[in-house]
Amino acid sequence: SAVISQKPSRDICQRGTSLTIQCQVDSQVTMMFWYRQQPGQSLTLIATANQGSEATYESGFVIDKFPISRPNLTFSTLTVSNMSPEDSSIYLCSVGPGQGNQPQHFGDGTRLSIL
């Protein structure tokens, strides 16, 4: 399975600032996904990032708040913009095939706290 490195692993940020999270995969993958996990909650998909096209955002998430880049088949970034305490969450990237019995594989997550 793919090895996924996510940086930073954790950060504490001031409200109103922005943070960019990086996700690096050790092999070329078509689909990358970004999830948010609020404290004590399940994973919620933010967007799907396909190389060479604009990310597809889920309902409730907008590009101005969560801009995503996908410059090549092994790398993606998620920026959390103009942060507020409500953005305190774990952010996870994952990769996986679009179909079949293969699971999505996840990075270790970025634990973000906003003061």
Partner 1 sequence: AQKITQTQPGMFVQEKEAVTLDCTYDTSDQSYGLFWYKQPSSGEMIFLIYQGSYDEQNATEGRYSLNFQKARKSANLVISASQLGDSAMYFCAMRDTATDSWGKFQFGAGTQVVVTP
3-state secondary structure of 106: strand
- Residue numbers 44-63 binding partner 1 by CB under 8 A: 45, 48, 50, 56
Report yes or no: 20 and 34 within 8 Å, Cβ to Cβ. no
CB of 16 to partner 1, least distance (A): 25
C-alpha 47/C-alpha 36 separation (Å) is: 10
Q: Say how many residues touch partner 1, by CB under 8 A.
A: 27
Between strands 68-72 and 10-13, the pairing is unpaired
**Binding residue (CB under 8 A) for partner 1 from 21, 80, 109, 114:** 109
Give the binding site for partner 1 (CB under 8 A): 1, 31, 33, 41-43, 45, 48, 50, 56, 90, 92, 94, 96-101, 103-109, 111
